[in-house]
Amino acid sequence: MDPPSLASLSLTHVHYNPHDRFSYLCAWLALVPQGLCVVYATLMWSSREVEICLMFAGQMACEALNWALKRWIKEERPRQMYGKGYGMPSSHAQFVSFFSLYLTLFLLFRHAPHPTQTHTPTTYAQRLGLSVLALASAAAVAFSRIYLTYHTNKQVLVGCAAGAAFAVVWFGFTTLLRRSGWVHWGLDHPLARVFRLRDLVIEEDLLDAGWARWEDKRRKRSVNGKKKT
């Protein structure tokens, strides 16, 4: 009997021209959404910050919107591309547009870190530079979808517009949740207490998390070591 034909798991299966170095780079850029999902999971588990959880919830809602739009519009991918599924709008472009714009809105309008004795937080100019870098990276990922012929120009532009629009809507929604007290109410819920959810990143850099306690512990160890000698 002939062995059964095997299927390909297309989650990270990217077509590119092996003789084109820029095409190879674009193939790696196509993995950015998967990488960002790993970043989301890592930060949510390690920091337990509710802001990151809210951002990830918006990211998943944006993906659901893309799934619905593709099946409503039903526009095929470019003919020279052998990829499966509909192409309008580009899910990659929509994903990175939401991520980069929501991050920009957070850094410029919500994040206000305070200095501590052991840490100087990022300035507004530094946060602006980080925002520009995030937006430029999103543009590179979006362009890679055109270069690899997975999408047309219009499909990528619509994906960017949908992701950006949803980022603004979701940022406004989370702002409303905060101002109305729903976020604080949720953090006081017993389930949130079990998972140790917190809301510190608004006023505190992630880099500062636990640093003051570590510096205090390090100074005490140094003083104890000198006493012994």
Would the pLDDT of 127 be above 70?
yes
Q: Rounded mean pLDDT of 118-142?
A: 86
The winner for highest mean pLDDT among 35-44, 85-94, 191-200, 204-213 is: 35-44
Share of the chain above pLDDT 90, in %: 37
pLDDT at 161: 94
Angle at 75 between CA 69 and CA 80, to 5 degrees: 135
* Three-state SS sequence of the chain: CCCCCCCCCCCCCCCCCCCCHHHHHHHHHCCHHHHHHHHHHHHHHHHCEHHHHHHHHHHHHHHHHHHHHHHHHCCCCCCCCCCCCCCCCCHHHHHHHHHHHHHHHHHHHHCCCCCCCCCCCCCHHHHHHHHHHHHHHHHHHHHHHHHCCCCCHHHHHHHHHHHHHHHHHHHHHHHHHHHCCHHHHHHCCHHHHHCCCECCCCCCCHHHCCHHHHHHHHHHHHHHHHHHC
- Residue identified by tokens 């510096």 is 215
pTM: 0.83
Question: Is the separation of the CB atoms in 157 and 8 below 8 Å?
Answer: no
pLDDT at 7: 57
Q: Rounded mean pLDDT of 141-167?
A: 90
Q: Rounded mean pLDDT of 127-154?
A: 90
18-22, 151-155, 222-226: least confidently modelled range:
222-226
pLDDT at 123: 82
pLDDT at 163: 94
- Residue identified by tokens 């062995």 is 3
- Per-residue confidence band for 19, with pLDDT thresholds at 50, 70 and 90: confident
Angle at 143 between CA 141 and CA 146, to 5 degrees: 120
pLDDT at 195: 87
The winner for highest mean pLDDT among 76-85, 128-137, 187-196, 217-226 is: 128-137
pLDDT at 138: 93
Would the pLDDT of 8 be above 60?
no
Would the pLDDT of 80 be above 80?
no
